[in-house]
Structure 1
Amino acid sequence: MFSLLRSRTSARLCSRLQTRRVGSSAEPPRPQRNVIGTFTPASAALFVSVGVGLVWYFRNEKAKLLEQREKERMSKSYGRPHVGGPFSLVNCSAPDKRFTHEDLVGKWSLIYFGFTNCPDICPAELDKVTAVLNEIGTTNSEIPLQPIFISVDPARDTPGTIQKYLVDFHPSFIGLVGDYQETKSVCKAYRVYFSTPSDADPKGDYLVDHSIFVYLMDPEGRFVEAFGQVAQKDEIVDKVRQYVLAMTRE
């Protein structure tokens, strides 16, 4: 009897303890702290702006470094860069006539090598040359300056195609083109790299990798300076004025 009573008492105590434990564990949930912080639209815009700025900065610095290395390489290998030389190409404004190195004599020339199917770089560089011509034409109209575009894509760039392409730029642009060997020869003379294959398909959809420089030639057809992609319009205008003034004093 005593044993049975003690067993029932123990069972009641255990039941009470379990009830208390269950009741004590039912606490209201605590709010979780945001350890990251609030990502507001303003902070998102700042993050994107900083990222874009860093990408632009490093691309610009890389372009400057590559151009500087190219100029240093040319100077170390050849002293004063020997750029230019004899060439003969089709004048797109008069396909029955040839434009040669002798046609550079008597004028300052800005020469750019590119191709009409170029999606962005060539148009940007030709726009820059156009801006230079407009500036010098307004402030120094006495400087005889002719812009020349030489195609590095002879398979697709016909005289007619080039003429239509240059309409969007300065009206004094002279378009030149030749066959593959003529193109290769003039590019070699001006130390221009280009990747168009000799058997390129005229109907093919391809890009031409090439050097990005605007060459300034003096009225005797001699190389003066090469302006890379990072060179701005004002820099080119100032350099042209300086070289013209220096040559006038000689």
Structure 2
Amino acid sequence: MRGISTLSRTATRVAPAFLGRSLNSSTAFGVARASLSQHAMRVPINAQSAQHNSNASLFCRTYSTEQPPKKTQPVNEKESSSGSSSNNPRSPGGDGGIKDVLGLLPSSGPLSPIGIVFFLLTSAGIVYFFTVTKEQVRAEREKSKNKSEVVGKADVGGPFELTDQDGNTVTDKSLLGKFALIYFGFCHCPDICPEELDKIGEAMDILERNPKTKDAVQLVFVTCDPQRDSPTEVKKYLQQFHPGFIGLTGSVDQIAAMCKAYRVYFSKPPRVDEGQDYLVDHAIFSYFMDPDGEFIDVYGKDKTATTMASDIERRVTQFLNAGRKLKK
């Protein structure tokens, strides 16, 4: 208000000089009033401008308290030049390929590229070692098996001369031309020998059903107790079993020589009284020989009649398929 009063007085003094002396006091007062009106119109405009500046300042302070936006990482020059629109430089569809995958692995430790390569090389070495070792073991077993077969053929069998159940002389040459299945026992055996002879007879019955194997094998029984098993006793004993058996006996020395040639163990009491009953301990094997008198295999108590017949049939078939002939 004070400024308005000052302005009014100034206008009263200046107006006469500005408009000329011909203006009267009422005219001067009108000029001053118009000037005052214009000044009053500017005051609200200035106040409105000040309010606007105040609001703008407040808006700036409010905006400055918000969290600043995160800075985006610079785009790789290689990716920008390739025109890729992906924001992830290691995405599966990127141009990095294996390099991108390797970039995800740690630089050290078991999962690092070096650690993975070392693991693969070690695994390959272990597999190779066990493969080679297994092959060597198999070769050694095969070599040992072949060696044992050669030794068996050389050590089992040989010449002999004995008497059959009809009193005829039989030698090792008498068995040539056919396969022979030879069993060592004694006629007074209570259980083991009858069981084994029955099993041999059953195997022979199976072989006789096949035309190729019928009459291909000669069954031979050799006593380990020649003091009691005469030709007559042997013949009577073998009638309980298969009719194809040839029963052989002889002197103690002759039986001992044949048992030694075939590596057959037997033992009897050192002193036996006249008429005393006794048992003879002996090996329980059936020796299978080929038509040339060579040893092939042995069959023990663990072999069944079916197993024996199957193996003998296979051997005979191989012999015939090789173009060999059997003695009638």
Matched, 1:185 2:296: no
Distance verdict in 2 for CA 1:108–1:198, change over 3 Å: farther
Where do 4+ consecutive residues of structure 1 move more than 6 Å?
none
Q: 1:248 to 1:76 in 2, by over 3 A?
A: closer
Q: Secondary structure at the match of 1:139?
A: coil
For residues 107 and 201 of structure 1, do their structure 2 counterparts lie closer, same or farther at Cα, with a shift above 3 Å needed? farther
Distance 1:180 1:242, change over 3 A: same
The structure with more radius of gyration: 2
TM-score (norm 2): 0.50
Confirm whether residue 89 of structure 1 aligns to residue 162 of structure 2. yes
Deviation at 1:182, TM superposition (A): 0.6
Query: Is residue 131–residue 233 contact of structure 1 (8 Å, CA) maintained in 2?
Result: yes
| Residue 178 to residue 76, structure 1, CA distance change in 2 (3 Å) | same
**Kindly tell me: are residues 187 and 197 of structure 1, through their superposed partners in 2, closer, same or farther at Cα, counting changes over 3 Å?**
farther
Residue 170 of structure 1 aligns to a residue whose secondary structure is coil
Q: State how far apart, in whole Å, the 2-side matches of 1:175 and 1:190 are.
A: 17
1:241 positional shift: 1.1
How far the C-alpha of 1:144 sits from its partner, in A, is 1.6
Unaligned 5+ runs, structure 2: 1-144, 323-328
Q: Give 1:1-250 correspondences, 5 Å limit.
A: 75=148, 78=151, 80=153, 82-93=155-166, 95=167, 97-140=168-211, 141-196=213-268, 200-201=272-273, 203-250=275-322
Pairwise CA RMSD: 2.2
The structural deviation recorded for 1:82 is 2.3
1:56 alignment counterpart: none
TM-score by length of 1: 0.65
Structure 1: unaligned runs, 5 residues or longer = 1-71
Distance in 1 separating the partners of 2:299 and 2:154: 13
Which is bigger in relative contact order (C-alpha 8 A, separation at least 6)? Answer: 1
Q: CA deviation at 1:78?
A: 3.3
- Cα contact 1:155–1:201 (8 A) shared by 2: no
Output the amino acid matched with 1:131. Answer: E
233 and 156 in structure 1: CA distance in 2 versus 1, 3 angstrom threshold: same
> For 2:159, what is the secondary structure of its paired residue?
coil
Letter in 2 for 1:184: A
Residues 165 and 242 of structure 1, relative CA distance in 2, 3 Å threshold: same
Identity of aligned residues (%): 41
Residues 95-121 of structure 1, C-alpha deviations (whole Å, 9 max, x = no match): 1x2100001111111100000110000
Aligned equivalents of 1:171 and 1:86: distance in 2?
Answer: 25
Q: 1:81 and 1:234 mapped to 2: Cα distance?
A: 28
Change (3 A) 1:156 1:202: farther
